[in-house]
Structure 1
Amino acid sequence: MQWTKEKILSDATTALNSENQPWVVRVEGDAIIGSWKWMDARFFATNTISEEDREYEFIVILKDSGKWKEKDKKNERSSKVTFNDGKIGIGMEKSVFKGKMKQKSISFSIGQNQKEGDIGVVKSELDTSQIKKAIRNYLKQCGWKKSGLFG
């Protein structure tokens, strides 16, 4: 039996959010959005302090036809202060990706986790297939199907 779009959207956050996962699901209009802030840290190296902030979103838009369309979005921001030969250098970068992507990464560095404030080894991890699988399985259990290339 296929659930209505309204029922799916109203139940999505309860069904998909859990304290045991590194992402959060929210609903905006006809979209279910899974957000994973997978890096928010300050790193220390010789003569350099840098900050990294990276977030991934999996966006699923429900259509009236009982199907959904999906897309990925990744935001990355970094800033760096360097100290060399008595000079201070400052740099900033920002990038946004929208489209289809698949990524699995893990990194370890010495720094400070901005969320908890802990200093030491900072571990950052992202596996887009985890969040995609959870949301897709939820929609399939509700009787919905993924739209094809042109639908």
Structure 2
Amino acid sequence: MPTAATDMTDEQRKAFVTAYLKAFDNGGTGHDGTPVLDFFAEDADFFFPKWGLAHGKPEIAKMFGDLGGSITSVRHHTWAFTWVLSGTDLLAVEGTTHGEHRDGPWRVGQPEWGAGRFCGVFEVRDHLIHRAFIYLDPDYAGGDTARYPWL
């Protein structure tokens, strides 16, 4: 359960999450050299579809390693983010991406039903991410079509 916002403003939380996503886009390093794992609390929880729930920085590092083995590059379109702010430590961001997966490239809207849209729910306090749940279709290259007759 998120706590009342006391140590950071909503704008600071937005900037922190944006810096984290830019570090992820930059191969795991922030513009100031901060490793992406340093954005997380030691006991943070991170959920990613088809991977599951990682608890703590060692499991998050494993998850990032697993995901990094399949994604060559990713760019979050930070200029087009839609934020949902709660006035507490919890915030959500809806956004779009493009990039290269080992199975091929993706770009939001190409095709419209394909990868590239995401929603992330974050709990940020004390200038650390304590919870990150990412919701997206991890079929970046759009290869899983046989199971969906409308495609």
TM-score, normalised relative to structure 2: 0.29
Q: Structure 1 or 2: larger helix share?
A: 2
Higher relative contact order (CA 8 A, sep 6+): 2
What's the TM-score once normalised by structure 1's chain length?
A: 0.29
Higher strand share: 1
